[in-house]
Amino acid sequence: MSADTSKAKVSVTLASDTLAAIDHAVAETRFPSRSAAIETLLRAWVRGERRRQRDAEIDAYYDSLTEEEQEDERDWAELGYLTFARDTAPEVRSRRKRGRAAESRPSRRETDR
């Protein structure tokens, strides 16, 4: 959302079934007003359009890569996945919750060896 919070008043012509759907959403208190409903829906549409544009740019980037560059990208993705899996494993999470002192003490498994 832009930092500019000023609003402009506009008039639109809508099909009666579209207006009925908006009025129904307002009546169910999903939106405080017709204006709020229309603005919310238009913002969602704009976000979707921006996402589609970004996705097209990303696709174009990856389509432009050589085979070697694509292999490098796959290697980095695999490294990221493995690092994420390691760092989010239950044992790692529980040690983080206990704090640094727990990390400096040997685990039960280590002392049983």
Q: Given this model, what pLDDT does residue 104 score?
A: 55
- Global pTM? 0.57
Write down the mean pLDDT value for the chain. Answer: 85
Q: Given this model, what pLDDT does residue 73 score?
A: 94
Instruction: Write out pLDDT tens, residues 67-88.
Output: 999 999 999 999 999 999 888 8
What are the CA-CA distances from residue 103 to residues 8, 10, 55, 109 (Å)? Answer: 57, 61, 41, 13
Domain boundaries, the chain: 13-64, 66-113
Phi (first) and psi of residue 3, to 5 degrees: -70, -20
pLDDT at 111 over 70: no
pLDDT at 113 over 90: no
Say how far apart CA 53 and CA 11 lie, in whole Å. Answer: 28
- Cβ(28)–Cβ(36) below 8 Å: no
pLDDT band for position 57 (cuts 50, 70, 90): very high
